[in-house]
Chain A
Amino acid sequence: MSEAQQVFESETQDLEGRTLSNRELLRALLKKPQFVICVLLVVAVFLMAAFPRLFTSVDPRFCELGKSQRGREPGHPFGFDIQGCDYFANVIYGARPSVLVSLVAGFGGFAVAGILGLLAGYFPGAVDTIISRVADVLFALPGLIALIVILNSVPNRSIWIIVGIILVTGWPQGMRVMRSTVFSVRNREYVLAARSIGVPPLRILRKHVFPNAMAPLLAMTTLGIGGLIGLEAVLTFLGVGLQPPSISWGSQFGVAASYRDSPHLFIWPAIFISTTTISFMIIGDSIRDALDPKLIR
């Protein structure tokens, strides 16, 4: 992680030379075939999450225990899970929590880290000190262990509680990136000009600083969404994530781990999680590359 951070920080310096407009960014991205493919895959997963019925008409909660762990048969391409439910339908329906957690936590994190980073970067002194020291404290907590401990103390975990706790513990990284970008932008001529004619600080932040400082954080967020899908699965696998009867890829993993004799239980959610995660990472990579001034020319 610290390596990634250095990359971002060096980028921030270079950004002083040149900034991409949003349209240029999009055009550069669409030229990359791997970006297009991954966007299509991600859109497919989003559709699964939003409208699972487009993909399967089978009720994932209709289970016949007698068919437990059976392999594929007509109408049931992925076979049956431990409870004898159709596994294809379960894997499709399992997309929703993964996507929700990753998107909400990802972009929620973007908002929280962005706002705090803006404030810390633009108002050195007390505001910066408070925000940065809180971030330091959160950095000192070992991430996954802190999540496990906190989630274990919550009796009825809904998806929103999981998202909330990921947000609370996860913002410092992005805040630091944002803060260092804001440092480099706040003394640019247009910001100084706006300040000299008495534009209020909030408006300066909104109109001048944020649009010019958000790109590295955006790239980092997209890169991180893949990781968040994995994190949801890890937490559920460890028994501190979603609880039954929620259907999620993580809980499918957790069950499959105890039943090694039925590899299909493991393989299908694994393929879906890997594909989604890798797609998000390639998208994030592409955005970062497009933003890298050294590669632009």
Chain B
Amino acid sequence: MAAIPPTGPPAEEVGSTVRRATGVLGVALGLALVLTSCGDGKGSGGGAGGGAKSEVIAIAADPLDYINPLNENGSPGIQVAQAVFAPLVATDPNTGKTVNVMADSVTPDKTSQTWTIKLKPGNTFQNGQALTAKDYVDSWNLTAQGSTAWKNNGFFSKVEGYDAMNPPTPDGATPKPTSVKTLSGLKQLDDLTFSVKLKVPFSQFGLTLQYLGLAPLPEEVRKNPDAYKRKPIGNGAFKLDGAWNPGDDIKLVKWDGYKGPNAPEADAITFRFIPNADTAYNEFLAGNVDFVDVPPTKIKTFKTDAPDGWVTATSSGANYLTMPAWDPRYKNPKLRHAFSMAIDRKAFADLVGLATPSNGLVSPDMDGYRPDACKYCNFDPTAAKQLLAEAGGFSGAVNINYNTTSATGQIFAEAIGNMLRQNLGLTVKYTGKQGSEITQLADTRKLDGLRFSGWGHDYPSIEDYLTPMFKSNGDANFSGYNSPELDKVLAQGDAEPNPEKAIKLYQHAEDIALEDMPLIPLYAKQNAYLHSAKIMPRVSKYTGVQALYSTFK
């Protein structure tokens, strides 16, 4: 296992749609975080089997079909990968600083465009093969090749030479193999050192290396990845215990060969996949698993359901009301500010439960978060009405889309709708749809009206909120927002090697986004988890709640 897995609670499944970026590194990292927090748990009564220090972690998701971190950006898969593979660097749960795991050093050049990564000597894969720079370079080249069709391909789009390996293909067509098989920006310098040259300077690149989706594969797996998709050979603290077939629990035992820092205390870990979150929760109450996420429907009752066994993590995520940039009726920033100021965030956060009202676009536990960032987030119906009048009012009904698969979707939508209706005198209607349908409509810019969205960072930087959601081609630009000025400021931040100066630039970008307000900040949510009496999950302000790193009683 990685000594310090990336942290962070997952994006919330809020009333409507929460989406992580897909493809690009942002997404991947986010997922890693999510997995971490969700995955760990072992049942007190459960069949972890074997050693004294064993735990059963419930994952509320469909069973995995394979284990391959490079082809995995969903939280369940990353969570499992986190046990079997180790990342280059990780976030220290005590200090929030980035610490080395497989890497010995990560060094940028003066412009943050070329990064040199040196590995610690002596690490091996679980098949005995020594871990070298070549394993990273070749694994990354394999993933960056569009025709491999692995999910973390997008991570490498920042690396020089990516475009040559990923020529544009028509939508839906399978990418064809290219004659170029390697990223020109990726160079092996010696056995333990390699360098990455990016297309443009990116000061946060070092942080992104904690993503589990960049784990190396050994040579025998690289030769025939399909043959190993159900018997992974990792470099982490755990290995598969016997054979594993999709649909079964994933049983892992400690691998003695792991020499990285901060090995988890557990001797054996079982991941049990339970597709329905409420069922998983009930399995915990029945004593069959040791760790489970509290689903949104149980937020008000989990403390009485498991009075001695719950933990909460400070939020690593934020939730928004998303404006449709493609509908001219919602264009005027004054109208958006009016909507924002008509919302009583305090009461809404109380309704959500375990949430704090947002006053900015980034998660409150981020370096660079400013509690007073938003000038238009105070609840002031009178000022809101006046702003709406200045914006020329609103014609027609405001439609609020909510996710029907979430038990609370409709309730949250009605709460927002009531405030807009009563405080601004607007007509409000509601449309319930499947979350995936809402996302698809929004992606094709056909969605009518507002919807909920959420975002959790993939690596601990406020840049990972601003770039995905507000950059004109961001992976998670839910609102279709486009501001050349903001793009320019973000690029300046990316090129700024001094972390403090970079944060100032990113904060400036946040201010621009708040003036235009494509997303209205709503709340930041804490995640809650239940754990059995025999374990205590690791809880950190920086890395969230991680069952993988539980201590045992």
Task: Report A's interface with B, CB cutoff 8 A.
Answer: 61-66, 68, 82-85, 239, 243-245, 255, 258-261
Contacts and interface: CB of A to CB of B under 8 A. Distances in A.
B419 A65 contact: yes
Given A65-B419, A83-B415, A261-B300, A245 B347 contact: no
B227 interface: no
A35 B350 CA distance: 47
B415 A243 contact: no
B350 A68 contact: yes
14 contacts: A61-B418, A65-B348, A66-B344, A66-B350, A68-B351, A82-B411, A83-B411, A83-B414, A83-B415, A239-B404, A239-B432, A244-B430, A258-B297, A261-B300
Contacts of B30: none
A239 B301 CA distance: 22
A244 B347 contact: no
Interface in B24-78: none
Nearest to A244: B430
Contacts of B430: 243-245
A63 B422 contact: yes
B389 interface: no
A65 B407 contact: no
A157 to B, nearest CB: 10
B413 interface: yes
A259 B432 CA distance: 20
B426 interface: no
A259 B411 CA distance: 11
B418 A83 contact: yes
B236 interface: no
A291 B442 CA distance: 60
Contact of A65 (B404, B415, B421): B415
A260 B301 contact: yes
B6 interface: no
Contacts of A245: 414, 417, 428-430
B408 interface: yes
Given A239-B404, A239-B432, A260-B301, A244 B422 contact: no
Given A61-B418, A68-B347, A245-B429, 19 more contacts: A63-B422, A65-B347, A65-B350, A65-B419, A66-B344, A68-B351, A82-B351, A83-B415, A239-B404, A243-B431, A243-B432, A244-B414, A244-B417, A245-B428, A245-B430, A258-B297, A258-B407, A261-B300, A261-B301
Contacts of A83: 411, 414-415, 418
Give 5 nearest A-B pairs by CB, closest first.
A65-B347, A63-B418, A244-B430, A66-B347, A258-B407
Nearest to A65: B347
Contacts of A255: 410-411
Contacts of B344: 65-66
A2 B344 CA distance: 55
A65 B407 CA distance: 18
Nearest to B350: A68
B301 A65 contact: no
A260 B301 CA distance: 8
B431 to A, nearest CB: 8
A259 B408 CA distance: 10
A155 B491 CA distance: 43
A260 B300 CA distance: 8
A258 B410 CA distance: 12
Nearest to B433: A155
A82 B297 CA distance: 13
A255 B347 CA distance: 18
B416 to A, nearest CB: 9
A243 B400 CA distance: 12
Contacts of B414: 83, 244-245
Interface centre among B346, B351, B417, B428 (most CB of A within 10 A): B351
B405 to A, nearest CB: 9
A79 to B, nearest CB: 16
Nearest to A251: B410
A82 B415 CA distance: 9
Contacts of A85: 418
Interface string B340-359: 00001011101100000000
Contact of B300 (A63, A239, A243, A259): A259
Nearest to B300: A261
A188 B430 CA distance: 57
A227 B428 CA distance: 33
Nearest to B434: A152
A65 B351 contact: yes
A68 to B, nearest CB: 6
B411 A258 contact: yes
Contacts of A62: 422
A30 to B, nearest CB: 45
Nearest to A259: B300
A244 B413 contact: yes
Contacts of A66: 344, 346-347, 350
Contacts of A63: 418, 422
B418 A65 contact: yes
A245 B421 CA distance: 12
A260 to B, nearest CB: 6
A82 B407 CA distance: 13
Contacts of B404: 239
A259 B407 CA distance: 11
A84 B411 CA distance: 11
B17 to A, nearest CB: 17
A254 to B, nearest CB: 8
A178 to B, nearest CB: 38
A65 B404 CA distance: 21
Nearest to B404: A239
Contacts of A244: 410, 413-414, 417, 430, 432
A64 B300 CA distance: 20
Nearest to B409: A239
A218 to B, nearest CB: 38
Nearest to B347: A65
Contacts of B408: 258
Interface in B116-133: none
Interface string B314-331: 000000000000000000
